[in-house]
Chains A and B, each alone.
Chain A
Amino acid sequence: MPVIKDVVCTFCGCLCDDLEVTVEDNKITKVGKACKLGRAKTMGMFLHERIEKPMIRKNGKDSELEECSYDEAITKAAEILVAAKRPISYGWCSTSCEAIEKAVVLAEETGSLFDSTANVCHGPSALATQEKGAPSCSLGTAKNYADLIIFWGCNPVHAHPRHQTRYSTMAKGAFTPNGKKDKKMIVVDPRNTDTAKKADLLLQLNPGTDYVLVEALRAIVNGHADVLPDEIAGIPKATVMEAAEMCKAAKFTVIYFGMGVTQTRGRYKSGDNVSSLVSDLSQTNKVVMIPMRGHYNVTGFGQVAAWEAGFPMALDFSRGVAYYNPGETGTNDVLMRREVDAFITGAADPGAHFPQESIKYLYKIPAIQVDGYANPTTEFSDVVIPAAIAGVECEGTAYRMDSQPIRMKKLIETTFKSDEEILTEIIAKVRELKGEGGA
């Protein structure tokens, strides 16, 4: 039986590149080494239904989606985008960088707003990085050197299941040959999560008090413990002191941070303050911070958008040049302001992951979906274009959470078009409609 080795998993930002996939008669029958998430993703098309045909709603949101040809759906999508005064393109994070490049071109061509899933994920981390910087390292360096791992507002046991064995707490590194025995682990979370169970110390803070806790740690590290009250963010001062001592005693600390930092009160200011804590600790110790990215190539979106147009997300091409001001040009900002008049999304599911107010508006404007599987976004989409699954049915490049590019493999043949092909055809059609000829 042909087994393809070193397959890249295209679920989470760990981008594990050691999967062993068995393919029989163009079917994936076994996925070795992956976690539950990676197995579900890699075998998905053989486990449950997918969107089989392009579909269009002919008479508004109340009418049913009707099957059509790729050509018809792509033409309809181009017509919607060309007719719109203020379209927005969102998502493109569970796909290849090559597809994202095309999405940038389409956004430019149509004068669109252009945003990634970072809008509901690590967008505030990008802002924090721009305000204060984010000293980082590769996951390889982290694995080999780190002796203190801090998971702040993230729960890798559920969201990045192989992170701890491949890169962090459980991994045996050059300077930590005994794995977990040579490392300490702190978890910061209002919940006593499954990740927290194995921690040496849990800082179980009150929800939304991350900023306060970072500030207290900074005070201790900078020699001002005396100004702190007996309880900080719901945690006894002695416990916070213990955490600070662990940081001071460590040779190499990695702070992995997640949605607990970006989605709570304080938003990017909390990430910004984590960066200041890293700076304070770095006066005497080696400390870095790495965001736990969810969508496997949301990091790639940031890279491609930045090298193509100068900014990592929340871009606005309506002026002819890229303009960037998250809070104004972020997807949920413009949806909440009822500002846009057409929506295209691919390789993301805003229907499942946006707040109710944003979705109410998506039911009012023409929406185009490019995806392999039906999901809540399909419910309000007027044009649905089925896509091949990148990293399984087509190859391409993705960026791991530590910004390392990794080449994804094609494992099986498919008749579905890739995101890249679909976007290329929409661009050609848009140019045709605008009277500029084909691509």
Chain B
Amino acid sequence: MIETILISARTIDQGATLEEKTSQAYFDAAAYCELNEGNLEALGVSVDQNVKVATAHGVVVVPAKIDKRLPDDIVFIPMGPWANAIVDPDTCGCGMPGFKGVPATVEATADPVLNMKDLMATYKE
């Protein structure tokens, strides 16, 4: 397991599939995380293997990818339902939740990645 910081943001593929969020293309564009090579090695995980990213606000399983230019302390997930499963909902009294800079842990897992509909269904209480 590594301790890191979650950042979520737009990517061009996530943006290009925004109007087709039920599609495989959107899933491929938004349901993954990026770490640098060293972090991936430390986890003993290879590209496209699943990892569990956890914060104080939730847990999400996504496949891992490499962004060689990422610093050691950042895990990146494109903005969307998978990132938002674990972002900080607190608005700190100014309206805006914490979508970036959320302390997180990453570990290898054999659990599957939920598709959009199944992920949303977990919110039904």
Is A120 a contact of B101 with CB atoms below 8 Å?
no
Number of A-B contacts (CB under 8 A): 184
In the complex, the answer to whether B91 meets A333 with C-beta atoms within 8 Å is: yes
Would you call B15 and A11 a contact (CB within 8 A)?
yes
**CB <8 Å contact, B96 and A374:** no
A207, B57: Cβ atoms closer than 8 Å: no
Structural contact, A364 and B12, CB atoms closer than 8 A: no
Q: Which residues of A contact B94 (CB under 8 A)?
A: 123-124, 127, 267-268, 326-327, 330
Q: Enumerate chain A residues within 8 angstroms of B85, measured Cβ to Cβ.
A: 356
User: How many angstroms from the CA of A274 to the CA of B94 in the assembled complex?
Assistant: 17
Residue of A nearest to B86 (CB): A356
Does A294 sit within 8 A of B, measured CB to CB?
yes
B95 is contacted by which of A155, A191, A314, A374 (Cβ under 8 Å)? A314
Q: Are A355 and B16 in contact (CB under 8 A)?
A: no
A353 touches B71 (CB 8 A): no
Residues of B18-66 at the interface with A, using a CB-CB cut-off of 8 Å, are 18-23, 57-58
Are A356 and B16 also in contact (CB < 8 A) when A190-B71, A191-B69, A207-B100 are? Answer: no
Q: Establish whether residues B96 and A262, one from each chain, have CB atoms under 8 Å apart when the complex forms.
A: yes
Contact among B10, B58, B91, B120 for A330, CB-based, below 8 A: B91
Q: Give CA–CA (A11, B18) in the complex, Å.
A: 10
Q: Provide the bound-state CA to CA distance between A336 and B7, in Å.
A: 21
Known: A191-B70, A192-B70, A332-B97. A40 touches B22 (CB 8 A): no
Whether B9 and A259, one on each chain, are in contact in the complex, defined by CB atoms closer than 8 angstroms, is: yes
Check if A41 is an interface residue, CB within 8 A of chain B. Answer: yes
Q: In the complex, A305→B96 CA distance in Å? A: 19
A residues in contact with B113, CB < 8 Å? none
Residues of chain B contacted by A356 (CB below 8 angstroms) = 57-58, 84-87, 89, 123
**Set B22, B57, B99: member contacting A49, Cβ < 8 A:** B22
A208 near B101 with CB under 8 A, answer: yes
Bound-complex Cα distance A275 to B58 (A): 35
Query: Closest approach, in angstroms, between the C-beta of B103 and any C-beta of chain A?
Result: 10
A115: nearest chain-B partner, CB-CB: B95
Query: Using Cβ atoms and an 8 Å threshold, which residues of chain A touch B92?
Result: 267, 327
Determine if A90 is an interface residue (Cβ-Cβ < 8 Å): no
Flag if B16 contacts A352 (CB, 8 Å).
Answer: no
Contact B124 A61, beta carbon cutoff 8 Å:
yes
CB neighbours (8 Å) of A352 from chain B are 21, 80-81, 84
List residues 312-350 of chain A with CB under 8 A from any CB of chain B: 314, 326-327, 330-333, 336, 349
Judge if B2 is at the interface, Cβ distance under 8 Å. Answer: no
Scan B97-125; emit 1 where CB is below 8 A from any A CB, else 0.
Answer: 11111000000000000001100110111
Interchain CB contact under 8 A, B21 and A376: yes
Partner of A263, one of B22, B70, B96, B121: B96
B9 neighbours in A (Cβ, 8 Å):
155, 158-159, 259-260
Contact A207 B74 (CB under 8 A): yes
Q: Given known contacts A123-B95, A191-B74, A327-B94, is B21 in contact with A158 (CB within 8 Å)?
A: no
Residues of chain A with a CB closer than 8 A to B116's CB: 376, 379
Q: How far is the CA of A421 from the CA of B19 in the complex (A)?
A: 21
Contact between B95 and A332 (Cβ–Cβ < 8 Å)? yes
A327 to B18 Cα, complex, angstroms: 28
Q: Which of A382-430 contact B (CB under 8 A)?
A: none
Tell me if A136 counts as interface (CB < 8 A to partner B).
Answer: no
Q: Which residue of B lies closest to A128 (CB)?
A: B94
User: CB distance A373 to B20 under 8 Å?
Assistant: yes
With the chains together, A352 CA to B120 CA distance in Å?
9
B49 to chain A, nearest CB (A): 22
B125 and A155 form a contact (CB under 8 A): no
Given A44-B19, A207-B7, A376:B100 Cβ within 8 A: no
Alpha-carbon distance between A314 and B94 when the two chains are bound, in angstroms: 10
Instruction: Give chain A residues whose Cβ lies under 8 Å from the Cβ of B74.
Output: 190-191, 207
Q: Say whether B95 contacts A333, CB under 8 Å.
A: yes
Contact A379 B120 (CB under 8 A): yes
Can you name the residue of chain A whose Cβ is closest to the Cβ of B121? A379
Q: Are B117 and A379 in contact (CB under 8 A)?
A: yes
Give which listed residue, B16, B21, B57, B91, contacts A36 with CB less than 8 A.
B16
- Given contacts A40-B17, A44-B20, A155-B9, is CB(A120)–CB(B89) below 8 Å? no
Q: Does A119 contact B (CB under 8 A)?
A: yes
Asked if B100 contacts A158 (CB within 8 A), the reply is no
Minimum distance in angstroms from B32 CB to a CB of chain A: 15
- CB-based closest 7 A-B pairs: A330-B95, A355-B89, A326-B95, A208-B101, A192-B69, A357-B89, A375-B21
What are 24 residue pairs bridging A and B, where the CB atoms are less than 8 Å apart in the complex? A40-B15, A44-B19, A44-B20, A48-B19, A48-B23, A49-B20, A49-B22, A124-B94, A159-B12, A159-B15, A191-B67, A263-B99, A264-B100, A265-B98, A314-B95, A332-B97, A336-B91, A356-B86, A356-B87, A358-B89, A362-B123, A364-B125, A373-B21, A379-B121
